[in-house]
Structure 1
């Protein structure tokens, strides 16, 4: 029994020894058959994967030095059997001593080869745009430069955000009926130039029926806010399809969307116009189909939201809130006055664009007095007269701090919190009942003097340093206690604009609010000195220009200009009240625009 155990143990030991030897033999043989990855090859491949360009190769006594954009790689001579540079295609092919190969993107000569396809007006709705398909040597970005007709002043440039090797480059800002010169500059991820190619893109002449006419009156470009002027033209009438376009600082047309060609947007009636979102798209309300639409720079419909299904109809304004939701001025289909009659233009909603869900609903009739109503005077056109149904005519919505700021043609300016509680009102005190007196701010003149004249307080008169906003539009919150607003001068001092004794003018005005003292001080204004040449009874607006601190002031309807009736766009330095830029626009209808927006032509994230 003992002997048997010894024999078994010895056999087991011999078997284990043999198996171990066999495994070691096979393992060593496998190692000899698997090529060892060269450290230098790994370093070179890391440069390729990182999107760097090879700049040059230097041969030393015992090594090659590969110089890249961000450092070099040293490779022993014996590791490389062949270097084949193809600079016309921006590449170098290495053959290693083990027979493997590596293609390295390399700083080359001409970049003309990267352009694969050019398509003018790719959507069919923007004839002053194109798309260019490119195949880049490696990862990187493309900077587009559309050269101006007269040189630098009209030049538009943009560094695209995409970093992939294959890209579709958006070309925006082409001139109509012109052989446009466009540079495509290939850069690294940080925007440093690597090389460029130049394109010539010939556009056709435009054929737009009854298109607005315009004239540059003044342009001090060195003092102006950069960008183009996006004109929100409603078409020949409110029933016509909207036709937005952009005019540069030289008065050249650089962009437009012809929605009549779009099956999705051919009836678009967007009221105040397009609003650029944080994503670089545009949003707009559509009065014709009671919806909200999102479109790109080429005019393609990206998304839409049905307001009618939620029980609302769109009017006037949509804006993107700080939280990414949409704030929209609406009419609630089911809303009624006490007498059962429908009421309009007095609801605001907050919509979540991701889910389409209604987040908040604010009824202005619960905050303000629907009975504060001035009967028609028989002079003001019916379309612009207050009615019992249209008692408020809310035409704008904005944010101020955590609250909301609304303008109402017939009631003034109101700040209210998200619980729907009014915080203060800027409005002539006349006709407001006792329940609303605590909300009314008391007027203070520009020199800081409290105004005690009942005629001014009630709006029957104005003083040298203060006036109320009449039929206001586009409130802009500069801070918690300062706002800009367009004062249309609608029936100023209760006198019909087209009756005897009227003094018609519109203004941009800045107010300062002291919530503790419940006062509103006029800080400055501009427009009264322009009289009827800058008067617009309705529509219109203002924009604060953040880079310069200037203000855009744009009366848009019925304005008398040197080329006809329409609107006027003025950029003003509020410190000196100097007009730095002035653009006249005339149309056959007399309505030039709802609003104008100074923006970069390219959105930052395109």
Structure 2
């Protein structure tokens, strides 16, 4: 089936609450506002100022034990969003949290709840929302991303996907770059939204809540979303990192510790209640005596109080002069530096190139480009995806445990490169990034190298620089999700699952993207976030693709996203579970 949702974006006045025809009307408001609809207080839309499609039904002085909320689907095929609400959540918001409203719609919200006295009530509230707020810019072809639903299999109808799509694409060739990495990444409007499996937006962040050209702490791009066990979201941007819930209530908004700059790509929370953040270092002293701001090559671990517990300086752990992959990358798309005129041309490395966010070797240039972090609590180690090097596991002692990458140019670390084997443990015939007579392949310029609950490592293999080369034609490239089984004792790696090669160039993402494993459904949720990046003058077309993580590789859900303008990349997607949040 195919559904395309077009959202009209306009600037409007104050948010309003519509009276309900189906509910009891005329009870005096406990807050002095308009009459309430039921036995409780007023409906407060966007209670914390950053999530316009969230609301709270105020308690109106009542005391509740629990509640259940159902936001009714729009029209005959609309998706209901239902969840139970715990007393803790009711107390936190002083009301019943409502998540999953449609924009520009008179929403019907069914609520049942238990009063402290034991009395049970059922009510229906009508909640009118405004159209989505956004911001126009030159080259825009639609006001908001449109979600075209291709496939939804039985049992997956209730899926909700958060799309992190606020990314700049082409830029002014006269841009003056500061000496850093993420500082100039200041893309807005922001597109941070949740779509259901009808393609309807059911939550979004206000595009004006996290931006500020004149404030250093507000610059950057929101990246690295994860949903915590209690339903909160963590994310970071530029010089700050955040935690907030689906209602928009900020748990914290913290600046990076002094001396660290330019977050992008990743923030995670560990089982040790710490946060690991990919940053850069300000005033870094190079061996030649020069001070520079580094680019995407430091990991810091921060405790709940903002103190730095540990630091991983990759300049002192890996070989920052390794350029075997760098020199074969397509220079038209290196991270988010998009230049259509250079398509198919290999990157040229200049040893004395200016410092800053450009591909090059040595501290002060984009030699590493870490884009994901995984924490392995079995041995207190981290697994890093370095787009420009490979996937590497490093202990707290700063020693490299293994490397998942093509075996060229690793020098003193060559013995840490994993040996590819088949399902029977037999060594494969691999040379210079190619394994003969085998489906095995390394991940190339990969994103999100993460651990799964079944003891494997997964990556979104973007595919640029595959086999340390560029193909004869750019449209011969492909991306894939891939799963590896690693034997750390034998230092071997076996490829056990892949998806995407068969999709060809249409599904190819030169940059960004993600893959996550879901044990409860035994599926891989993949996001080909920069597919169609070179489709100009047509818009980019990222894909959400959820696939069975077995030999069938059956597509359970697929949504094609039509971005707002050409040459724009989206970043990641993740499944959102409202039951965790309330």
1:134: how far off? 2.2
Where relative contact order (Cα < 8 A, 6+ residues apart) is larger, the structure is 2
Equivalent position of 2:486 in the other structure: 513
Structure 1 partner of 2:264: 315
- Alpha-carbon deviation of 1:225? 8.1
Q: Does 2:221 match 1:296?
A: no
Structure 1 residue aligned with 2:166: 234
Which of 500, 517, 521 aligns to 1:548? It is 521
1:470/1:492 contact within 8 Å kept: yes
Kindly state the Cα deviation for residue 538 of structure 1 after the two structures are TM-superposed: 1.1
1:567 aligned to 2:542?
Answer: yes
Which residue in 1 is equivalent to 2:303?
352
Separation in 2 of the partners of 1:317 and 1:470? 19
Q: Distance in 2 between matches of 1:452 and 1:440?
A: 15
Return 5+ residue gaps in structure 2 as ranges: 1-23, 25-35, 137-142, 170-184, 336-346, 348-358
Aligned counterparts of 2:81 and 2:322: Cα–Cα separation in 1: 50
TM-score relative to the length of structure 2: 0.76
- 1:405, 1:413 within 8 Å by CA — same for their partners in 2? yes
In 1, are the aligned partners of 2:106 and 2:126 still within 8 Å (CA)? yes
1:559 is paired with a residue of what secondary structure? coil
Corresponding residue to 1:254 among 199, 202, 211: 202
Equivalent residue runs for 1:154-553 within 5 Å? 154-162=79-87, 167-187=94-114, 194-208=120-134, 209=136, 210-222=143-155, 224=156, 226-237=158-169, 238-241=185-188, 242-261=190-209, 267=218, 269-287=220-238, 290-307=239-256, 309-340=258-289, 342=292, 343-353=294-304, 355-374=305-324, 376=327, 379-381=330-332, 383-384=334-335, 386-388=359-361, 389-400=365-376, 401=378, 402-433=380-411, 435-445=412-422, 448-454=425-431, 458-460=432-434, 463-479=437-453, 481-496=455-470, 500=473, 503-553=476-526
The structure-2 alpha-carbon separation of the partners of 1:378 and 1:369, relative to structure 1 and needing over 3 Å to count, comes to: closer
Tell me, yes or no, if the aligned pair for 1:259 and 1:299 is still in contact at 8 Å: no
Higher strand share: 1
State how far apart, in whole Å, the 2-side matches of 1:243 and 1:273 are. 14
Equivalent residues of 1:271, 1:317 under 8 A apart:
no
Match in the other structure for 1:141: 66
SS class of match (1:359): strand
CA distance in 2, matches of 1:323, 1:542: 24
Q: C-alpha distance in 2, partners of 1:335/1:502?
A: 40
Contact 2:64–2:114 (CA<8 Å) still a contact in 1?
no
Give the equivalent residue in structure 2 for 1:599.
576
Instruction: Give the CA deviation at 1:449.
Output: 4.0
- Pairwise CA distance, 1:438: 1.8
Q: In 2, distance between residues paired with 1:540 and 1:447?
A: 32
Moved more, 248-257 or 302-311: 302-311
Partners of 1:137 and 1:313 in 2: how far apart? Answer: 46
**Residues 373 and 382, structure 2, Cα contact 8 Å, conserved in 1:** yes
CA distance in 1 between counterparts of 2:219 and 2:553 reads: 37
For the 8 Å contact 1:311–1:334, the answer to whether it is kept is no
Checking the alignment, whether the CA contact within 8 Å between 1:414 and 1:426 is kept in structure 2 is yes
Q: Residues 371-425 of structure 1: CA distance to partner in whole angstroms, max 9, x if unpaired?
A: 2114645952374454112221111101123321111112111111122211111
Q: Matched residues in 2 for 1:465 and 1:387: separation?
A: 32
> Hey, what's the Cα distance between the residues in 2 that align with 1:122 and 1:322?
31
Shifted more, 290-299 versus 464-473: the winner is: 290-299
CA 1:257/1:268 → structure 2, altered by over 3 Å: closer, same or farther? farther
Q: Distance in 1 between matches of 2:297 and 2:262?
A: 11
Mark the runs of 5 or more structure 1 residues left unpaired by the alignment: 1-87, 89-110
Counterpart-to-counterpart distance in 2, 1:378 and 1:251: 35
The alignment partner of 1:566 has SS state of: coil
Q: 358-367 or 121-130: which moved more?
A: 121-130
- Per the alignment, in what secondary structure is the counterpart of residue 174 of structure 1? coil
Give the C-alpha shift of residue 272 in structure 1: 2.8
Greater share of residues in helix: 1
RMSD of equivalent CA atoms: 3.1
Compute the displacement of 1:230 (Å).
Answer: 0.0
**Take 2:374 and 2:474, find their aligned partners in 1: how far apart are those partners?**
34
Select between 400-409 and 473-482 the one with higher mean Cα deviation: 473-482
8 Å Cα contact 2:329/2:470 also seen in 1: no
- Kept in 2, the 8 Å contact 1:556–1:568? The answer is yes
Distance in 1 between residues matched to 2:518 and 2:158, nearest whole Å: 9
CA distance in structure 2 between the aligned counterparts of 1:234 and 1:459, rounded to whole angstroms = 34
Secondary structure at the counterpart of residue 265 of structure 2: strand
Return the offset for 1:477.
0.8
1:480 and 1:419 map into 2 onto residues whose CA distance is 26
Tell me, yes or no, if the aligned pair for 1:175 and 1:254 is still in contact at 8 Å.
yes
Q: Do the aligned partners of residues 226 and 415 (structure 1) sit closer, same or farther apart at CA in structure 2, a change above 3 Å counting?
A: farther
Q: Are the counterparts in 2 of residues 393 and 408 from structure 1 also a CA contact under 8 Å? A: yes
CA–CA distance in structure 2, aligned partners of residues 420 and 127 of structure 1: 44
1:584 to 556, 560, 569: 560
